[in-house]
């Protein structure tokens, strides 16, 4: 990955009529980077992607792709390829025609088209499907073709709009792996929109967690998991989600007090900024709680047990705060 920026989103705003969806949002994506836009539905992530693709006109701001201000350019002139959740294959064309449509529109020579289709078909293992119509394909095959259609265009940037959301769990894992491999082999810039945190964590070089049209945190998956920037990110990432305990800080003992229980947080950074008796929210992931019995442990009653094979989830509560333990 180079340090050069491939896509630069500069202070963009977008509104539908009076509803403001994006407001003064900026985002730089490096060359060859796999950037995931993650957030709950309605957070503006798909809108942002459509703005980058040029499918929506900005209310304000600029989009740059490869040092070129493309703000007013048509989608076809932005050197992008896009994969949609609904596959969006042309139903009247065979797989081959679907793949070649963009090239034919550009007036590419026939030999070159055939060569590119062959290459993409090999890469995605869809050689046998070339003569079929989209209606004769399964969901996974359709999405492969849709990815192929983006591939043959030699796009500088690939845009994925929740490409795996319509597939079943098994296929999703399979194609997720292949998209990751594709990125490793091609090392193109990829921007990937999803609401699935597993996809985000596994695929991304960097994740940008979005909510209400704002980027809440932009960092590597590891950082986002270990050092969430705010309560929203902390609660959104991780499954089951992080436990939150309302507590008070006790400066002299470097403890927090939850009801009558005390938890030692002396090893945390930043606790010097806290004042005595300050109200705090203590977050701990279910997988970071150990179940054992000694004089320091907190006692609580098991309310529900959910066995999930590899893990078992235990639900309980501490001083009125529901807690899950993995």
Residue ranges that bind other proteins, judged by CB under 8 A: 50, 53-55, 74-76, 80-82, 84-93, 101-102, 105-106, 149, 153, 161
Considering beta carbons, is residue 44 or 286 the nearer one to other proteins?
Answer: 44
To other proteins, the closest distance from the beta carbon of 48 in angstroms equals 15
To other proteins, the closest distance from the beta carbon of 124 in angstroms equals 17
Considering beta carbons, is residue 153 or 172 the nearer one to other proteins?
Answer: 153
What are the φ/ψ torsions at residue 276 (nearest 5 degrees)? -60, 140
Q: Where are the alpha helices (H) located in the chain, listed in sequence order?
A: 45-53, 95-106, 110-124, 139-151, 169-186, 197-203, 221-226, 231-236
To other proteins, the closest distance from the beta carbon of 269 in angstroms equals 46
- State the Cα–Cα distance between residues 298 and 263, nearest whole angstrom: 9
To other proteins, the closest distance from the beta carbon of 164 in angstroms equals 15
Considering beta carbons, is residue 190 or 256 the nearer one to other proteins?
Answer: 190
To other proteins, the closest distance from the beta carbon of 86 in angstroms equals 5
Report the chain's terminal Cα–Cα distance, integer Å. 36
Considering beta carbons, is residue 137 or 325 the nearer one to other proteins?
Answer: 137
Considering beta carbons, is residue 133 or 246 the nearer one to other proteins?
Answer: 133
**C-alpha closest to that of 213 among 55, 26, 83:** 26
Considering beta carbons, is residue 96 or 219 the nearer one to other proteins?
Answer: 96
Considering beta carbons, is residue 86 or 239 the nearer one to other proteins?
Answer: 86
Q: How far, rounded to the nearest angstrom, does the alpha carbon of residue 284 sit from its chain's CA centroid?
A: 23
CA angle 34, 77, 45 (to 5 degrees): 40
Q: How far, rounded to the nearest angstrom, does the alpha carbon of residue 167 sit from its chain's CA centroid?
A: 17
To other proteins, the closest distance from the beta carbon of 74 in angstroms equals 7
165, 196 Cβ separation under 8 angstroms:
yes
Characterize the bridge pairing of strands 206-211 and 34-38: parallel
- State the Cα–Cα distance between residues 106 and 28, nearest whole angstrom: 29
To other proteins, the closest distance from the beta carbon of 241 in angstroms equals 31
What are the φ/ψ torsions at residue 158 (nearest 5 degrees)? -100, 135
Contacts of residue 35, defined as CB under 8 A and 6 or more positions apart, other chains included, come to 27, 29, 189, 190, 191, 192, 204, 205, 206, 207, 208
Considering beta carbons, is residue 166 or 255 the nearer one to other proteins?
Answer: 166
To other proteins, the closest distance from the beta carbon of 142 in angstroms equals 12
To other proteins, the closest distance from the beta carbon of 293 in angstroms equals 56
* Block residue for tokens 């491999």: 181
- State the Cα–Cα distance between residues 174 and 151, nearest whole angstrom: 19
Considering beta carbons, is residue 55 or 274 the nearer one to other proteins?
Answer: 55
- State the Cα–Cα distance between residues 162 and 264, nearest whole angstrom: 42
């Amino acid at each position: 990955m180079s340090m050069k920026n491939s896509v630069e989103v500069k202070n963009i705003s977008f509104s539908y009529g009076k509803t403001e969806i994006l407001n003064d949002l900026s985002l730089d994506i490096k060359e060859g980077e796999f950037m995931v836009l993650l957030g709950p539905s309605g957070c503006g992530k798909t809108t942002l992607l459509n703005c980058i693709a040029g499918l929506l006109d900005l209310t304000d701001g600029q989009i740059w792709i490869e040092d070129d201000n493309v703000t007013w350019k048509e989608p076809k002139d932005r050197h992008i390829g896009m994969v949609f959740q609904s596959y969006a294959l042309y139903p009247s064309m065979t797989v081959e025609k679907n793949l070649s449509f963009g090239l034919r529109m550009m007036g590419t020579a026939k030999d070159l088209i055939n060569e590119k289709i062959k290459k993409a078909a090999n890469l995605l293992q869809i050689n046998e499907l070339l003569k079929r119509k989209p209606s004769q394909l399964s969901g996974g095959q359709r999405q492969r073709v849709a990815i192929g259609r983006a591939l043959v265009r030699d796009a500088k940037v690939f845009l994925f709009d929740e490409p795996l959301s319509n597939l079943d769990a098994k296929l999703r894992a399979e194609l997720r792996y292949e998209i990751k491999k594709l990125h490793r082999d091609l090392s193109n810039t990829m921007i990937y929109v999803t609401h699935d945190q597993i996809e985000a964590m596994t695929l991304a070089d960097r994740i940008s967690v979005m909510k209400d049209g704002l980027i809440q945190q932009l960092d590597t998956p590891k950082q986002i998991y270990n050092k969430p920037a705010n309560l929203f990110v902390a609660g959104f990432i991780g499954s089951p989600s992080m436990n939150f305990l309302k507590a008070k800080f006790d400066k002299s003992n470097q403890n927090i007090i939850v009801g009558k229980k005390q938890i030692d947080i002396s090893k945390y950074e930043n606790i010097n900024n806290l004042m005595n008796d300050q109200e705090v929210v203590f977050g701990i992931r279910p997988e970071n709680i150990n179940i054992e019995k000694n004089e320091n442990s907190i006692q609580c009653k098991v309310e529900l047990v959910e066995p999930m094979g590899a893990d078992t989830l235990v639900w309980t509560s501490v001083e009125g705060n529901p807690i899950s333990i993995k």
